[in-house]
Structure 1
Amino acid sequence: MPRPHRTAPAVLLAALLIAPPTIADEPVVLADFEGPDYGPWTSSGAAFGPGPARGALPGQMSVSGFLGEGLVNSFHRGDGTTGTLSSPEFTIDRDLIWFLIGGGGFEGTTCIELIVDGRVVRSATGPNTEPGGSELLLPRQWDVRDLLGKVARIRIVDEETGGWGHINVDHIVLCDEPPELPDERDELLARAQKAVAEAADRLGADPTRPAFHFRPPAQWMNDPNGTIHVDGSYHLFYQHNPYGDRWGHMHWGHSRSTDLVHWEHLPIALWPSQREGEEHVFSGCSAVNGDGELMLFYTSVGPGRPNEQWAALPTDASRLHWEKHPGNPLLTTRMPDGTTFGNGMRDPFIFRSSGRTFMVVGADSETEAVIPIFEAADRSLSNWEYKGILWRSPKSEMEFPECPNFFPLGGKFVLLNSPYRPVEYRVGTLDLDTLTFSPETEGRIDQSGQFYASNIATAPDGRCILFGWVRGFPEGRGWNGCLALPRELSLGPDNRPRQAPVRELEALRGRRSALDGPIHLSAGEERPIGPPSDRLELRVRLGAPGPGRLGLRLLGEDGQAIAEIVREGRSLTVAGETVPIGHDGPIDLTVFVDRTVLEVFADGGRFAATRVIPFPGGTLRPSAFAEGGEADLLAAEAWELAAIWPDAAE
C-alpha cells in the first residue's frame, strides 16, 4: 500500500466532513460515524449497538487510529454478539474506496464488504486472530476502477463469537487518491503518556513490585532497546505498552541515568506511526552518526507487509522528542542481490570494529535461522550495504535468533541472541575480510528463560554493560516486567563470559550484617544470615555439600520458604532452575533479592540465574541450611538495600 502524504488535521477533517462535492476528483465521504446514531445505515443483531462508539467499549483494550470522535465498533457486550451494518446504495464514481479498519481478522465473519449486484466483490478484515494484538485501525483501500458506474452498498459483518470476534471501521471515503492524513505524532504520544500516567496513579504502592530494579511508571515493558552512554548519561529505551499490563501496542519508553542505579523517566520516545501503516515499533539499538547525532534504529511492524528496519532522529538537543527518519525504510527483507529473508526479520544492532560500522539483524530463511550483516555506506548511518550472512543455524536447532547483539570483548567477538529460550552466547573470531563469525565456545548467558532480550552499552571507562528483561510476572496488577540489574560483562581465560552486578549498585547498601568466621551446620540445622527485609544483597561462600544439600532460604513472614538456592553435588538450583556448576568444591554466591525478583551470580560470575519468585509482600528472612548431612557455610555478608522508586521506599 503506498504511504499517504501528511497534512494538518483540520485540513483532513474539513475535506472529509463536507457535503458530496460537485467536482469529480474531490473525495466523497460515505460515512464518518460522528453522529449519535448510524443515520441511513441499517443494522441487524446486537454487535453494533445503537450507534457509533466513542473509542473502546467496556472490557476492550484501548482503541486507536480512528479519526474524529466516533467509529464503528462491534464489541458491544463483548465478542459473543453478532450482527451486520449496511450502508444505503451509492454509485461508484471514483477510483478508490478508502477506509480505516481494525479488530478481528476472520475472512467472511469479521470484515467489511463491497456488494454489487448482490455479490461480494471486495472484502477486508482486521489484522488480529490470535491472543495479544492491538485495537489499532489502519488505512486500507480497494481499487474499484473496474466497477465505475455500478450501484453498490457496503456491509460491515461481525459473525464471529470467539476471541477477536469483533470489527472496527471508520471513515469510508470514495476518492481518486488516498486522503492526506495528519501527522499524528503529538496526538498519539500525548494519548500514550496520559494512559501511563493514569495507570501509575491507580497503582499505588504495590508491595510486590521491584524496588531497586528499573521499571516503567506503569503497564507492560519488555526488551531493553537503544542502550547507550552519551554526553554524560546512560540512555535506556525499552519496549512498552502504555495501554495495558500485557504485550501489545509496542512503543519505546525512555529513561536516563548518570550511575546505572537511579533512573529518570522521560517522555515516551517512539510510537507506531499509524498513518504510515505501523502497528508496532519493535526492538532495536541506538548509535551516534558521523555528525555526532544520536539515532534510534528499530523494526517497523505493520499488518500485511514484511517487517522493515527504520530509524528516528531527535528534534531537540536534550533528546526528549523524536521524529521518524525521512528515508525510512532503511532496510527491507529483500536484498539487492535477490536474497529475501522471512517477513519477521527484526531487532537491528550496530557495532564498530577497525574503523568500520556494521549492523546485524535477526532473520530466517525457509531452512535456517540467520544473522545478516550490513555495513554503513557513509557517515550518516542512513545507507547500509548487505554483506552476507554473519552466522547461521539450522532451524532444527534454532527457530529464530531474536535480539542479536554482536560486539568485541576481551580480544574476541561475542554473539548473544534470544532464540525463544534462555539467552545464548557464542564467543569466537570475526573475519573482517569475509565478515563471517567462527564460534569457539557457547552456552547460556543466564540459566533461566526469565532473563531475555539482551542489549549492550559501553561505559565511559570501557566496561561492557549487559542489560536484559525480566519476565514471568502475573497480569492484572497494572504493571508487568522490569529489567535485570545492569551487569559488567567480561571474558574469562576459558573464553567464556563472566558476569557481575555493576559496582555502582554498592551505593544502595544500608544496614550490614556478617557471620564471624565459618559456620558448621549439622544435618537439619538452619541459621539466619541477614536482616529481615524485602530488599537484600547477600555475599555467601558455600563449602562442599558432602552427601546432602547445602543452601540458602528466603522465608516469608509466616515462616514458609518463598525461594531456595540449593547446592547439591555439582549443581546449584536457584528457585527451581538448575545451574550446572561442574565441580564439587566451594562456590561463591552473590544474591540480589528485590521482592519478586531474585538474581544469583555463582562461581565467580561463571553462571547467572534470574527468577521471578512468589513474594506476597512483607519482609523476607534469609537463612542458611543443611539437609541430609552436615556442611560448612564458609562466609556470609548481607546488606539491606535502598529503594530507588519513591512508592517503594519505607
Structure 2
Amino acid sequence: MTASTATTADTFRPALHYAARNTWLNDPNGLIHHGGLYHLYYQNNPVDNVWGNMSWGHATSADLLAWTEHPVAIACDEEEDIFSGSIVFDRHNTSAFGTESQAPLVAVYTSAFKAGSTHHGVQAQSLAYSLDGGYTWTKHAGNPVLDRGSAEFRDPKVFRYDGDAGSYWVMVAVEAKDFMVVLYKSEDLKDWELLSSFGPANATGGVWECPDLFPLPVDGDPENLKWVLVVNLNPGGPNHGSAGQYFIGDFDGTTFTSSTTVTEGLQDPARLGEYQWLDWGRDYYAAVSFSDAPDNRRLMIGWMNNWQYANEIPTSPWRSPMSLVREVSLRTVDGTLRLAQHVAEDPASVSGLAPSFTLEAAAISNEMVVLDGAAGSVQRIDLTFTPGTAAEFGLVVRGDGTQGTRIGIQPAQGRIFVDRRDSGLTDFHESFASIDSAPLLAIDGSYQLSVYVDHCSVEVFAQGGLVTVTELIFPSTTSTGVALYASGGTATVGSLNLTRWS
C-alpha cells in the first residue's frame, strides 16, 4: 500500500496508548505519581505536529490507560527551548520554593538556550516549581542552576538518594556526544556538586540521551538490590535508529559500577547484539521511569517512534504516541540478570473484558490458518508455541491476505522478528519497511507471547517480558484478520486467548 492511500484524520489514533490531541510529542518527561494521579509530561510542539518549539506538554491518568490532556505546562520562550528532564516532590522543601502549608513539585529540565539568551549555544539545567499539584509552573529566577558550558549537556533525571553515603538529591544527566553519563549531588536542588561519570560503554553508535538510574530487587528479594542505569541513544539501536540500552550494577551514592558492560569505550559493531536492550523494536525510545509510584513499583514509558522517520509518520493532526506503561523487574535467567517487562495495568482487566476468542492445542503444518472470529483492530493476544519441525512459525496481525504484520519465531536461529514490510502504509520513508529481530530461546521447550495490537502499533512481550519488540504500523482499516502459520514443517499452538476492543 502506498502513502497516497486515503485515510481519515484519526484512522491511526490509538485506543490504548496516549497521543496528544492535535500536536507533536516526543520524549516523556517529568514522570511522577502525585495527588492520586500519574502525571505524564512530554516534549511537545504546541503549535504544530512536527518537532519544534519544544515545551512540556502534560497529561494525567488515574489508571495509566485513560489520559486527560492539559494545557502546556512549561512553555518555550524567546530565550530557551524546554528540553527533557524530570520532576521531584520536594516534600521537605529543601529548595525553599514551597510555603509553610504547601511543599513544591520541582521540575529539573534542560534549557536549550537560543540566540536571544546570554547563554546562547549552551545546554544547561534549570528549575521550575509548582504549588498547585503540577498544573502551573514558575521558572526559577536563578536559572540555570548547573552549567558546564556544554552544547550537549542534557536530560536530567533527579531522585532522592538515602543510603550509607547520606541523604541528598542525585542528578543523572548526559554529555550526549561524549557518550558519558554524569552524576551530581545537591542538598537544595540549586547548588550541584559533581560526583562521578560513567561511559563510554557498550552501544555508542549515536548520541546518549535520557538516562535513568534506579534500584530493583533481584528476583523479588528486597534484601538483594541492584541498580539499573538506562541510557537511550540515537541512532545505534540493534535494528537501526533510536533505542534504549541498560546496564546492571551497583551505586554507592557516588559512583555507578556496571557488572554487565560488554565493551568499554567506543562500540564494537560486531557485538551490538550482546548488549542489553530495553526493547529490540524500532519504536521504543527515551524511556524513563515514574517517581513515587505506589507500592515502590518501577514503571516506565517510552516514546513510540524513531528519529529516522519520526516527523513523517502518516498521522494527522497529531503525531507520535507513547508506549503502554510497563512495570520492570530484575530476574535471574541462567545465572544472568535480565530486565523483565510487562504492561503495568492490563487494559483488559481495567475494562472488565473477557477473552472474546480462545483456541486450545492446535497443530499447524506448512500452512497459514486464518482464525475465524478473531478479527479486530485493537487486541491483546496471549499464546504459546511448541516447536516441531518448522523452520519458522508465528502469527499475522492486522492482516487481509495481502497485507499484514508478521510476528515470527525461528527456533534454529534463536530469533523472534516483526516483519512490517507489508503492514500497510510504508513508503512515507525509505527506512520504515523493515524486519526487526531479537534473540529468543525456548523456555521449557516452548515460547510464550503477549501481543498488544492498536490502531498504529504492535508491542510484543516474549517469554514473560524478557524480550520486547515494539513497532509502529499503519494498516488499512479493513485489515483486521489474525492468522497462525508454520513454514518448513510443523508447530503446535498450546493455547491462544484473544481480547478485542474493536
TM-score of the pair, normalised by structure 2: 0.79
Greater gyration radius: 1
Query: Among 450, 467, 476, which residue is 2:283 paired with?
Result: 450
User: Does the 8 Å contact 2:159/2:169 carry over to 1?
Assistant: yes
User: Does the 8 Å contact 2:389/2:488 carry over to 1?
Assistant: no
Query: Among 420, 425, 429, which residue is 2:250 paired with?
Result: 429
Unaligned regions of 5+ residues in structure 2, if any? 1-6, 94-102, 115-119, 218-224, 238-242, 262-274, 420-434
2:97 matched residue in structure 1: none
Q: Could you say if the C-alpha distance between residues 530 and 501 of structure 1 is closer, same or farther in structure 2, counting changes exceeding 3 Å?
A: farther
2:270 matched residue in structure 1: none
In the alignment, does 2:173 pair up with 1:361? yes
In the alignment, does 2:86 pair up with 1:282? no
Distance (whole Å) between structure 1 residues aligned to residue 51 and residue 226 of structure 2: 36
1:551 matched residue in structure 2: 394
2:319 matched residue in structure 1: 480
User: Does the 8 Å contact 2:403/2:479 carry over to 1?
Assistant: no
**1:571-590 alignment runs, 5 A limit:** 571-575=415-419, 576-583=435-442, 585-590=445-450
1:101 matched residue in structure 2: none
Q: What amino acid does structure 2 have at the position aligned with 1:496?
A: R
Deviation at 1:468, TM superposition (A): 0.2
Q: Residue by residue, what CA displacement relative to the aligned partner does 1:571-609 show, whole Å, maximum 9, x if unpaired?
A: 111232111103483111000000111000001110001
What is the SS of the residue equivalent to 2:260?
Answer: strand
Deviation at 1:511, TM superposition (A): 5.5
In the alignment, does 2:338 pair up with 1:496? yes
1:646 matched residue in structure 2: none
Deviation at 1:632, TM superposition (A): 0.4
**1:337-486 alignment runs, 5 A limit:** 342-353=150-161, 354=163, 355-364=167-176, 368-378=178-188, 381-389=189-197, 391-393=198-200, 397-410=204-217, 411-420=225-234, 421=237, 422-432=243-253, 434-440=254-260, 442-457=275-290, 458-472=292-306, 474-475=313-314, 477-486=316-325
User: Does the 8 Å contact 2:326/2:342 carry over to 1?
Assistant: yes
Distance (whole Å) between structure 1 residues aligned to residue 201 and residue 282 of structure 2: 21
Query: Among 328, 333, 336, which residue is 2:143 paired with?
Result: 328
Distance (whole Å) between structure 2 residues aligned to residue 637 and residue 385 of structure 1: 53
Q: Residue by residue, what CA displacement relative to the aligned partner does 1:268-322 show, whole Å, maximum 9, x if unpaired?
A: 1011131xx21x21111000112231111111112332111111112x5243211
Q: Could you say if the C-alpha distance between residues 395 and 430 of structure 1 is closer, same or farther in structure 2, counting changes exceeding 3 Å?
A: closer
What is the SS of the residue equivalent to 1:532?
Answer: coil
Distance (whole Å) between structure 2 residues aligned to residue 487 and residue 322 of structure 1: 28
Deviation at 1:208, TM superposition (A): 1.7
Distance (whole Å) between structure 1 residues aligned to residue 260 and residue 374 of structure 2: 44
Deviation at 1:437, TM superposition (A): 2.4
Distance (whole Å) between structure 1 residues aligned to residue 398 and residue 66 of structure 2: 28
Q: Residue by residue, what CA displacement relative to the aligned partner does 1:9-43 show, whole Å, maximum 9, x if unpaired?
A: xxxxxxxxxxxxxxxxxxxxxxxxxxxxxxxxxxx
The percentage of counterpart residues that share the same residue type is 29
What is the SS of the residue equivalent to 1:255?
Answer: strand
Distance (whole Å) between structure 2 residues aligned to residue 396 and residue 350 of structure 1: 23
1:617 matched residue in structure 2: 477
Q: Could you say if the C-alpha distance between residues 541 and 224 of structure 1 is closer, same or farther in structure 2, counting changes exceeding 3 Å?
A: same
Deviation at 1:400, TM superposition (A): 2.7
Q: What amino acid does structure 2 have at the position aligned with 1:549?
A: E
In the alignment, does 2:111 pair up with 1:300? yes
Q: Could you say if the C-alpha distance between residues 394 and 600 of structure 1 is closer, same or farther in structure 2, counting changes exceeding 3 Å?
A: closer
- How many aligned positions are there? 422
Distance (whole Å) between structure 1 residues aligned to residue 59 and residue 331 of structure 2: 32
What is the SS of the residue equivalent to 1:217?
Answer: coil
User: Does the 8 Å contact 1:499/1:601 carry over to 2?
Assistant: yes
Distance (whole Å) between structure 2 residues aligned to residue 262 and residue 322 of structure 1: 24
Deviation at 1:451, TM superposition (A): 0.6
Q: Could you say if the C-alpha distance between residues 614 and 409 of structure 1 is closer, same or farther in structure 2, counting changes exceeding 3 Å?
A: same
Distance (whole Å) between structure 1 residues aligned to residue 133 and residue 450 of structure 2: 37
Deviation at 1:394, TM superposition (A): 6.3
Distance (whole Å) between structure 1 residues aligned to residue 82 and residue 226 of structure 2: 32
**1:32-51 alignment runs, 5 A limit:** none
Distance (whole Å) between structure 2 residues aligned to residue 357 and residue 562 of structure 1: 49
What is the SS of the residue equivalent to 1:574?
Answer: strand
**1:59-458 alignment runs, 5 A limit:** 206-274=10-78, 277-278=79-80, 280-289=81-90, 290-291=92-93, 292-303=103-114, 304-314=120-130, 316-334=131-149, 342-353=150-161, 354=163, 355-364=167-176, 368-378=178-188, 381-389=189-197, 391-393=198-200, 397-410=204-217, 411-420=225-234, 421=237, 422-432=243-253, 434-440=254-260, 442-457=275-290, 458=292
Distance (whole Å) between structure 2 residues aligned to residue 398 and residue 357 of structure 1: 31
1:542 matched residue in structure 2: 385
Q: Could you say if the C-alpha distance between residues 548 and 213 of structure 1 is closer, same or farther in structure 2, counting changes exceeding 3 Å?
A: same
What is the SS of the residue equivalent to 2:295?
Answer: coil
1:568 matched residue in structure 2: 410
Deviation at 1:536, TM superposition (A): 0.3
User: Does the 8 Å contact 1:417/1:423 carry over to 2?
Assistant: yes
What is the SS of the residue equivalent to 1:461?
Answer: helix
Query: Among 488, 492, 500, which residue is 1:632 paired with?
Result: 492
Deviation at 1:613, TM superposition (A): 1.3
TM-score of the pair, normalised by structure 1: 0.62
Q: What amino acid does structure 2 have at the position aligned with 1:322?
A: W
Deviation at 1:364, TM superposition (A): 4.9
User: Does the 8 Å contact 2:326/2:341 carry over to 1?
Assistant: yes
User: Does the 8 Å contact 2:297/2:327 carry over to 1?
Assistant: yes
CA RMSD of aligned residues (A): 2.2
Q: Residue by residue, what CA displacement relative to the aligned partner does 1:186-225 show, whole Å, maximum 9, x if unpaired?
A: xxxxxxxxxxxxxxxxx97612221210111112110000
Distance (whole Å) between structure 1 residues aligned to residue 478 and residue 128 of structure 2: 44
Query: Among 355, 370, 374, which residue is 1:512 paired with?
Result: 355
Q: Residue by residue, what CA displacement relative to the aligned partner does 1:305-349 show, whole Å, maximum 9, x if unpaired?
A: 2111111112x5243211111121011114xxxxxxx41110000
1:104 matched residue in structure 2: none
Deviation at 1:397, TM superposition (A): 3.5
Q: What amino acid does structure 2 have at the position aligned with 1:225?
A: N
Deviation at 1:615, TM superposition (A): 1.0
Higher relative contact order (CA 8 A, sep 6+): 2
Q: What amino acid does structure 1 have at the position aligned with 2:298?
A: C
User: Does the 8 Å contact 1:545/1:568 carry over to 2?
Assistant: no
User: Does the 8 Å contact 1:245/1:476 carry over to 2?
Assistant: no
What is the SS of the residue equivalent to 1:492?
Answer: strand
User: Does the 8 Å contact 2:106/2:129 carry over to 1?
Assistant: yes
Distance (whole Å) between structure 1 residues aligned to residue 370 and residue 497 of structure 2: 13
